[in-house]
Amino acid sequence: MPRRKPTLSPSRITTYLACPMKYLWTYVDSRGKWYLKAKSYYSFGSTLHKVLERFHDSGDTGVTTVGDALKVYEESWIDAGYASPEEMQEAYGEGREIVANVIEEELKRDPGVKTVAVEKFLRADLGPFVLIGRVDRIDQHPDGTLEIVDYKSGRWTVTNEDVESDLAMACYQYLVRKNFPGVPVKATIHALRSRTTGSASLSSADLAIFENDIRVLGEQILATTIDDVAPSVKPLCEGCDFLPLCSKDPRYA
């Protein structure tokens, strides 16, 4: 039986680019799992994603109003990672307000725009590895354009330039173009707190360059081992779950 190809996702790639050691502790070296702690921002974001997933899922007819969405929010609330009950209650109240405002806005959107997928898993074989990604939502516009919508619960603002330079959004565009060839594609980041959006669309030439670059980077990532990387002090170290592991390395400085 042929060996299963390794996979890389936007989150794995961006983690590696931010800190190779964090990538290795998170995804490669099993020692890292004992140091992982729950994060309040993951819990908060996951709760909001669940509400929006159910609202936009055409197969889920039980979430069609702001009231329905708030009920799902309450049922889906994840309380892990908060420093205190007070912090959690503040976040809970903020989340309710975000859900109410976002759903109210979604109810007013152009009826010609149809959601065709939520939490869509996509993959593309790049030879040495398979690029994978899960898209929050895909909308189809009247002209046939497929719009990738990525929710961000932790940011207040987003611009078109942010989307154009975002590696994860490039990955998603590449994956959608590979799985739906010949269809126009654009990517949008939706900053939920401010209900602002930014959009961009990479050309075929851009995506051809991206394909080559991501293949080279992916091979580099997969070839990297703990022995190859000397832990170094960087701003990300503050609050990192893996700092106790890195600080034990005599090369850490």
- Ranges of the chain whose pLDDT falls below 70: 1-2, 253
**H helix or E strand, kind and range, residue 230:** none
Domains and CATH numbers, the chain: 22-108 (no CATH), 114-218 (3.90.320.10)
Q: How far from chain centre, in Å, is Cα 247?
A: 29
Dump pLDDT digits (tens) for 31-82. 999 999 999 999 999 999 999 999 999 887 779 999 999 999 999 999 999 9
d(CA 55, CA 61): 8
- The pairing of beta strand 185-191 with beta strand 146-152: parallel
Q: What is the pLDDT of residue 2?
A: 65
d(CA 87, CA 106): 28
Predicted structure pTM score:
0.93
E strands within the chain? 7-8, 114-125, 130-140, 146-152, 185-191, 196-200
